[in-house]
Chain A
Amino acid sequence: MSAEHPVLRIQGLSVVLPKGADRRHAVENVEVTVAAGEIVCLLGESGSGKSIIAQSIMGLLPDNIRPVSGQILLGEENLLAAGAERLRALRGASMSMVFQEPMTALNPVMTCGAQVEELLRNHTAMTHAQNRARVLEMFEHVHLPDAARIHASYPHQLSGGQRQRIMIALALILKPQLLIADEPTTALDVTTQAQILRLITELTRENRTAVLFITHDFGVVAEIADRVVVLRLGQLVEAGASRSLLSSPRHEYTRMLLSAVPSLTPRKSPVESSLPVVLRARRLSKIFHPGGWFRRGAPVRAAEEVELELRRGETLGIVGESGSGKSTVARMLGRLIDPTGGEVELDGCGIASLSGEAARRLRRRIQFVFQDPYRSLNPRRTVGAAIVEGPMNFGLSQAEASARARELMDLVSLSPQMLDRYPHEFSGGQRQRVCIARALAMQPEILIADEPVSALDVSVQAQILQLLEDIQRRLHLTMVFITHDLRVAAQVCNRIVVMHRGRVVEQGPVREVFERPRDAYTRGLLAAAPGRSFAFGQV
């Protein structure tokens, strides 16, 4: 970037994993430099070693993982040679870190103000009043509303975005030379993510802070990075200026990753309106009443008067941020939870008030794929047992069910020999394939997929989306696809429903909604999609 000395220089860093890990080095021979005022993105999928690099810099590696060669220079000082006391002095003052999950990074029993003041007390000689004034000033600087109230609030009283602003205030209040941000927006909604990214850029440009930004998201990279370093399984794949790397990647792996990022341009048209409506929701509502024996909390309106219809063979997307009620609606459509009001019609027959055995019979027609493939398979049962369970619940013999399970394993591109393995022996993508096979084993007409790819790496995500599309075509499935990711929605859906705070704010063919959003909320959502100015999926 500039002729001046870089703030951070990582040279030939190798970190060894303990015996028994899946590979010998967490990272091997990695070189990264970050200059003052520059934002460098460390990009990689899970297991690429990007967090290990951050922990090595901060001196926060677990005891059983240690760097074996190379050096990490902060200015002129080698951090790998620094003692625990020296590192403690540097942390906060010269280098600081923002984590993925602000709730767990903040101390739940201290007020936010006290936590930031503690840092000032440890590193400066200012009086209590000066500290407080400085913290309030910083809170305003990170655009927290009503700084005095936030100062006295505990972390759980704030929203995720506000907590992340507190973390940023905490990280930047001492004006460190280096900020390490480890997936700081991954746990946040898109609109909040856009604000946080803007805040980080703004504050670090202002103080000429060097930023090492760890992410798995190309959208985020396109949004903020000056330079990018791509990692794969601990090896440095490619490094370069952000624009040139995104538009003309040299390495095949980078090209593969880039091509796996779904484009924001919608792909599908709505299905013909002559096709019959299979599933219809009329004024569907769910109101939760929290509280116990003695106390009754304010009712939570998870879904209110939701109207939607699903035509045979189409994919309907339900899009919204966390807490919008999209999962609640999906579960009510398949009667996994009971609506408190309204009606669901399957082929014209009301199913909202079915109970017991009649409700159980619906399972053969409507099936689910859930978000988290790590937790939606029972860790104590083989994947084979998981797949045959449904058909056997409905009277299929063990032999018939097993035969069906073997066919389905083929269909989802897994080897039928894997049926007697346990879920922990599979990767995330493979587990999601198993979950899809489990749903298909019931031979359903309607498949409801609740964020089926959001726990997966981008390259795996592309494969699972492809698989769902193939299966839909071959088995003539009708699908409800719930996602928070507009890129995924653009690729998968014929029509989408946008939800906000339990209500449908807009619905229509995906092209129409993306190109001419009518509702202000939809417009905000589309504008917040990271990297929207960059045409992904066309490289």
Chain B
Amino acid sequence: MAGPLADPGLPALDAPATIWRRLSGNLSVAVAGGVLTVLAGVSLLAPVLGTIDPGLLDPVNRDLLPGASAEVLSLTGESTAHTFWMGSDSYGRDIYSRVLYGGRVSLLVGAVVATLSVAAGMAIGLVSGFVRWLDGLVMRVMDGLMAIPGILLAIALVSLWRASLLTVIVAITIPEIPRVTRLVRSLVLSIREEPYIEAALAVGTRTAPLLVRHVLPNTLAPLIVQATYIAASAILVESILSFLGVGLPTDVPTWGNIMAEGRLQFNQYPHNVFFPGVLLALTVLAVNLLGDGLRDTLDPKFNKRGVRPA
């Protein structure tokens, strides 16, 4: 009750400058951020990185081994020299080009799914945590959603609509929402008991500004961390859906599609699966590493550098 209280180290971000200093000092964040930047840059700049049309069928050049050089015949009938750095598949398509363009899909799916599910989960979680009479209802719906395995739900949703990038993104987002909602709700439930919320009410702050100014900013740190884990899982799920043939159409190059097609010849030509597989693993690893690094710097519960002078 009485006595000098220690600063309880709130679930807080400090001033922006402090955060950036701490983030850039964290090795995981630096390494993972670097890897992801390179991956994103490479897939965005794919057209100028010596690639050819990733959908170009050229039966003459089928099943080339990595590093082979050959003449490529384009649809307009021009013939150009091209080195197949990662070989070609059984239709003669360039794996290198396909993997680079496929990276666009994976990273886009990861980023969009993370953003959408965090946004939706945050809105639902805020309401659920703050409007007590709605809470029971909302959370039972979320419990119901969580009872269905994510992949199964996504497959069911994709088969309801036509397979497209939008469908896949929505199908992966929906199973992620309940988890974010739960996290936000539990954060809101503890934040709403904080004295600064009572203090804001005491100066006549209405509910909407209270949520936006006082509650929301204090949920951000754990949410950013959660978003990276969702991104990693979304990239994997997109690949799995493609691999199972229920994701994006087969004419869109995605890492999952490339691996699904290469699977048949895996014994003879492992490179079809190897290169997209390695990039997929690298991406997911980097995103997860980023999440761990962010958690260490942003979430005080895991911050081991807390120093008490006395």
Q: Which residues of A contact B (CB under 8 A)?
A: 17-18, 20-23, 26, 44-52, 62, 64-65, 100, 183, 186-189, 216-217, 234, 293, 322, 334, 336, 360-361, 363-364, 367-368, 370-372, 374-381, 386, 389-390, 393-394, 422, 424-425, 428, 435, 438-439, 441-442, 454-457, 484-485
Contacts and interface: CB of A to CB of B under 8 A. Distances in A.
Chain A CB within 10 Å, residue with most, of B13, B14, B199: B199
B195 A336 contact: no
B310 A389 contact: no
A376 B196 contact: yes
A100 B6 CA distance: 12
Given A368-B202, A375-B194, A389-B200, A21 B2 contact: no
Given A64-B307, A372-B195, A378-B200, A455 B4 contact: yes
Contact of A21 (B136, B201, B309): B309
B204 interface: yes
A435 B307 contact: no
Given A23-B309, A428-B4, A455-B5, A442 B15 contact: no
Given A375-B8, A389-B200, A186 B309 contact: no
Interface string B4-23: 11111010111100000000
Nearest to A193: B2
5 contacts: A49-B309, A364-B204, A368-B199, A380-B218, A441-B203
Contacts of A216: 3-4
Given A368-B199, A371-B195, A380-B12, A187 B3 contact: yes
A242 B307 CA distance: 33
Contacts of A456: 4
B143 interface: no
B265 interface: no
Contacts of A183: 3
B205 A389 contact: yes
Contact of A424 (B14, B194, B200, B214): B14
Contacts of A378: 196, 200, 213-214, 217-218
Nearest to B5: A455
A380 B1 contact: no
Nearest to A376: B195
Contact of A17 (B3, B201, B309): B309
A101 to B, nearest CB: 10
A419 B217 CA distance: 19
A100 B129 CA distance: 33
B104 to A, nearest CB: 35
Nearest to A234: B310
Contacts of A50: 310
A386 B202 CA distance: 12
A381 B213 contact: yes
A49 B310 CA distance: 5
A51 B4 CA distance: 13
B1 A454 contact: yes
A422 B14 contact: yes
Given A17-B307, A378-B217, 14 more contacts: A47-B310, A48-B310, A49-B310, A50-B310, A52-B310, A187-B1, A189-B1, A368-B198, A378-B218, A381-B213, A389-B213, A425-B15, A441-B203, A454-B3
Nearest to B209: A393
Interface in B106-141: 136
Main secondary structure of the interface of B (DSSP, over half): loop
Given A47-B309, A375-B194, A375-B195, A390 B1 contact: no
Contacts of A390: 203-205
Contact of A454 (B2, B12, B195, B209): B2
B8 to A, nearest CB: 6
A336 B201 contact: yes
Interface in B158-217: 194-196, 198-206, 209, 213-214, 217
A166 to B, nearest CB: 19
Contact of A484 (B2, B136, B203, B218): B2
A422 B310 contact: no
Contacts of A379: 10, 12-14, 196, 218
A26 B203 contact: no
Chain B CB within 10 Å, residue with most, of A18, A380, A441: A380
Contacts of B217: 378, 380-381
Contacts of A380: 12-13, 217-218
A456 B15 CA distance: 24
A334 B198 CA distance: 12
A393 B204 contact: yes
A234 B310 CA distance: 9
Nearest to A331: B198
A422 B196 contact: no
A367 B309 contact: no
B21 to A, nearest CB: 11
Contact of A375 (B14, B15, B196, B309): B196
Nearest to B203: A390
Nearest to B10: A379
A145 B209 CA distance: 52
Given A26-B309, A187-B1, A376 B198 contact: yes
B22 to A, nearest CB: 11
A21 B310 CA distance: 11
Contacts of B198: 336, 368, 370, 376
Chain A CB within 10 Å, residue with most, of B2, B8, B308: B2
Contacts of B213: 378, 381, 389
Interface in B196-245: 196, 198-206, 209, 213-214, 217-218
A508 B205 CA distance: 36
Contacts of B310: 26, 44, 46-52, 234
